[in-house]
Amino acid sequence: MIEFVRGEVAYVCAEFVTIEVGGIGYKIVAPNPFFYRTGDEQIIVYTYHYVREDQEVLFGFRSRRERALFTKLLGVTGIGPKGALAIVASGNVDALVEAIEQEKESYLIKFPGVGKKTAKQMTLDLKGKLAELAPDYVPSEGLFAQSNAELNEACEALTALGYSDREVEKVKKALQAEVLSTDQYVKRALQLLLNVR
């Protein structure tokens, strides 16, 4: 496995970049090849060696985070290397992770080749699994478990106050990203319910 390639940019086109290392030119398919310029000295491209029966491709990225995002996307049902590369090329890692965590399908369908079905699959397959890429947008398991327990207690209190299951479920979804005490959840939920009514 080639972890990265360090060398000079020998050639750039719309689909790939050629990095010369010790007299050998590595053809690397990159999300944004024109980020690189011929004559650039000693650049590093982080690579992913993609091997299938009918093809063998070396993909390259500006950072390990971009490469990690690409490999995560390859694990999503319905997304192949071309689709994953287009998403990495068009997006920003933090914004993409945030969209997946918050299930913002309207943001995800803006990417080339991503329709509603694929956007839903992305959130289904990746939500909660991208902490190493953007920890600020993915709650840690400890905090999330604690907030779920407190939130569940708050929901029980709301049901006892006479709110319907549908109303409670709606505010529960809205409050899942917040880490509060049971009392704080109840107060916040009541604010949301009163605004809805």
- The rounded distance, in Å, linking the Cα atoms of 127 and 138 is 8
- Encoded amino acid at 153, one letter: E
Distance CA 179, CA 174 (A): 12
Rounded to two decimals, the pTM is 0.64
Cite the DSSP H helix spans in the chain: 64-74, 81-90, 93-101, 105-108, 116-126, 141-160, 165-175, 182-196
Q: State the Cα–Cα distance between residues 11 and 17, nearest whole angstrom.
A: 6
DSSP annotation of 36: S
Per-residue pLDDT tens, the chain, 197 aa: give them: 789 999 999 999 999 999 999 999 999 999 989 888 887 678 999 999 999 888 899 999 988 888 999 999 999 988 999 999 989 887 678 888 888 888 888 889 888 888 899 999 999 999 888 877 765 554 444 434 444 677 788 888 888 888 888 888 888 877 876 777 778 888 888 888 887 54
